[in-house]
Structure 1
Amino acid sequence: MFSSADKVAGQGVGSAYKELINLLKERLSDKFEIKINDYGRSDLSHYHTIDPQFYLSTFSKKRGRKIGYVHFLPETLEGSIKLPEPAKSIFYKYVINFYKRMDQIVVVNPTFIDKLVAHGLDRKKIKYIPNFVSTENFYEKSAEEKKAFRKKIGVPEDKFIVFGDGQVQERKGIDDFYKLAKGNPDIQFIWAGGFSFGKITDGYDRYKDMIDNAPKNMKFTGIVDRNELVDYYNACDLFLLPSYDELFPMSVLEAFACGAPVLLRDLDLYRAIIYGYYQPARNYSDMNDFINKAAAHRDILKAFKKKSREATEQYSEDNLSKIWYEFYTDQYKIAKRDK
């Protein structure tokens, strides 16, 4: 495994990486010998991030069969980070060149396959494997535990809470989330996340001002450790991710695992992977209508809690451990055949 994903807090890539490493160590350690950022000889080298030193290592014969994990494409970085030209063009070309250095590509959303092909990659070398989360870390808590956490963060027991998390950036739809909070002063809105990329975050000054001048019913927690996020998912009445662009957001899987009803912007990529498990919304107006309907008639959320539990079964560790075992075993066979 080659990764620096856990060096930057508050981003989904790091969460997905940690989940996979834990899964392999806990369930498949007797099948594979796993090393992390070790440049010794290996049968398979799985690259989770696109660090320059990792790119250089792909030219070594010690790396065996090279597997690349695609968590983003150049176009998905728009609205996330702000780079001046020509640095932007150079970086975007580097991203695609890194992927082209791989013998096998893994995507977490099938909608990315055509986009990678359009960038010049071989469709036959691309495989879809979904993300997942550990139900040991993300799970439904008791009513008493939920009540205690609400008291801890200063939110009344009967207050309707809309919770979202992710980096504070335009791509995440944070503007709509903020607008919803301003338009619904009787509802508590909480956003867990911050500026993982610091001042190079696109729109940093505007969002910093937004955080500093948030209305009373809008809380920005900053970056929250994953071990603490489980409390927010459990305490909320509704999880909302208004992103304009995602792959397979870990936050949605985490919300599902905690039994939280989920409201999402209606994106093609969601229809491909989790259709039927969430309430779709085309725009701000749809989000606002559903939030107000749910706040007034909370019983309608019971059906969505059931859908979240069903989604968690679909993307369980048991299912994904089998998929990853078969994938790595097949890649090993190909590596030995080619050798």
Structure 2
Amino acid sequence: MTLAFIPPTRTGIEPEAVRTDLPRINQMSESVFGPRGHGVHTAFLETTQGLRDLGYQVGTNERWRDGILHVHTLGPWPLYRLRTHRGPKVVSAHVTADSLRGSLRGSTLFRKPIEGYLRYFYGSADHVVAVSEAAKAELLEGGVRTPISVIPNGIDRRAFARSADSRGLARADLGVGTDEFVVLTVGQVQPRKGVETFLEVARTLPHVTFVWVGSVLFGALASSRGQLEAQMRSAPPNVRFVGQLDRDRVAQWYLAADVFTSTARQETFGLVALEAAAASLPIVLRDITVFRELFGADGALFPSDVAGFAEAVESLRLDPKARATAATNAEQLAHTYGAEVVAQSAADLYRSVLGAPALVRARR
């Protein structure tokens, strides 16, 4: 029984053209039932669609007991499926103990039990996919002993492609003035996302419009919910919190913006920064390990504090040539993370896991 629907493949592959070099693949994520405004859900969608575009038979949240099971979320239902599935089992580790800190209430107090659960959960798979080298290091430090491979999240660049008039059309639809200089961030409103830094940079640059796409998710479980909502209410007049939006509307904001920034202090990957790069936006990111890993020396600017962010944004605003160069560098880097490239890496991993002697013994 299918519990979630994802539209058919964009490439028009007919059922008789389905590839048979891998068994059917069940992509599983609880994100289809809850808040979808986060990178885990996007990564689940892109992986599923990318594999379908390659011609594989891919289901979502099926009750299949055979074939390849690839899990993206950490709840009790995926754990049950991992413990009872008879075929190869892969888990994408989008979540680490550090990423929960500053996301969910009580994650610091209950860090040890959380780490124990994560070890048990990831240990129930035959192979774990870390979305970055930084995430892999966190998993190893947390005691995960299951084999780990690094496969980054992928993006569908077509969803963010610019045309000659896309910026103007997006601005008109979103109510953004033609002369406004817009700095965009996308993500959940959480302490680890550096909300206070974002607001201080906005106060430093009152002539610039700052837009945050996203909201406080997870209800009463959200970390520091009251404090975050108070910060949003007291934001300066040049800041717009536009809330949780569907993917098409988010894409419009990428097209309408002039610069993308992330003030996050912790990420396992940073998918929204790559989406912005695919939209040909100059990228300004906090100087943390995972962003350096993804964007290298030339793909983004890397300030570390409020003054650095303000200086980077203002320099891009005042220098159109530098802005164009930064946009080109970011767009070129985004090609490395195309959904089709990442899906092929996932297929190669499945093939490797299928051939692992330990896995063959486990299925007997």
1:331 to 353, 359, 363: 353
Residues 25-40 of structure 1: pairs in structure 2 closer than 5 A: 25-29=52-56, 33-40=57-64
Give the superposition deviation at 1:48: 0.8
Matching residue's letter, 2:312: F
Give the superposition deviation at 1:337: 6.4
Structure 2 residues without counterparts, runs of 5 or longer: 1-26
State the match for 1:230 in structure 2: 251
Matching residue's letter, 2:347: Y
State the match for 2:5 in structure 1: none
Matching residue's letter, 2:257: C
Q: For residues 142 and 234 of structure 2, what CA distance do their matches in structure 1 show?
A: 42
Deviations, residues 71-100 of structure 1 (Å, cap 9, x unaligned): 111122111111289766434421221111
* Structure 2 contact 71–92 (Cα < 8 Å) conserved: yes
State the match for 1:185 in structure 2: 206
Q: For residues 125 and 256 of structure 2, what CA distance do their matches in structure 1 show?
A: 42
1:106 to 129, 133, 136: 129
Matching residue's letter, 1:5: S
* Structure 1 contact 68–106 (Cα < 8 Å) conserved: yes
Q: For residues 86 and 181 of structure 1, what CA distance do their matches in structure 2 show?
A: 32
1:319 to 341, 346, 351: 341
* Structure 1 contact 137–230 (Cα < 8 Å) conserved: yes
Matching residue's letter, 1:3: S
When residues 244 and 336 of structure 1 are mapped into structure 2, their CA distance, relative to the original with a 3 A threshold, is same
**2:156 is the alignment partner of 1:134:** yes
State the match for 2:176 in structure 1: 155
**2:49 is the alignment partner of 1:41:** no
Q: For residues 168 and 28 of structure 2, what CA distance do their matches in structure 1 show?
A: 41
When residues 173 and 84 of structure 1 are mapped into structure 2, their CA distance, relative to the original with a 3 A threshold, is closer
**2:281 is the alignment partner of 1:260:** yes
Deviations, residues 225-280 of structure 1 (Å, cap 9, x unaligned): 11111111111110001100111111011101110110000111222222121111
* Structure 1 contact 132–315 (Cα < 8 Å) conserved: yes
Give the superposition deviation at 1:149: 2.3
When residues 180 and 85 of structure 1 are mapped into structure 2, their CA distance, relative to the original with a 3 A threshold, is closer
Q: Secondary structure at the match of 2:332?
A: helix
Give the superposition deviation at 1:51: 1.3
State the match for 2:302 in structure 1: 280
Q: Secondary structure at the match of 2:274?
A: helix
* Structure 2 contact 54–340 (Cα < 8 Å) conserved: no
* Structure 2 contact 196–231 (Cα < 8 Å) conserved: no
**2:138 is the alignment partner of 1:115:** yes
Q: Secondary structure at the match of 2:83?
A: coil
1:14 to 18, 41, 52: 41
Q: Normalized against structure 2, the TM-score is what?
A: 0.86
Give the superposition deviation at 1:107: 0.4
Q: For residues 319 and 57 of structure 1, what CA distance do their matches in structure 2 show?
A: 28
1:2 to 19, 28, 31: 28
Q: For residues 76 and 329 of structure 1, what CA distance do their matches in structure 2 show?
A: 30
* Structure 1 contact 44–331 (Cα < 8 Å) conserved: no
Q: How many matched pairs? A: 333
**2:324 is the alignment partner of 1:297:** no
State the match for 1:215 in structure 2: 236
When residues 119 and 87 of structure 1 are mapped into structure 2, their CA distance, relative to the original with a 3 A threshold, is closer
Give the superposition deviation at 1:165: 0.9
Matching residue's letter, 2:196: D
**2:120 is the alignment partner of 1:97:** yes
State the match for 2:24 in structure 1: none
Matching residue's letter, 1:292: E
Give the superposition deviation at 1:63: 3.1
4+ aligned runs moved over 3 Å, structure 1: 84-92, 335-339
Give the superposition deviation at 1:338: 5.2
State the match for 1:57 in structure 2: 81
Give the superposition deviation at 1:40: 2.7
When residues 325 and 212 of structure 1 are mapped into structure 2, their CA distance, relative to the original with a 3 A threshold, is same
Give the superposition deviation at 1:108: 0.4
Q: For residues 63 and 208 of structure 1, what CA distance do their matches in structure 2 show?
A: 46
Q: Secondary structure at the match of 2:268?
A: coil
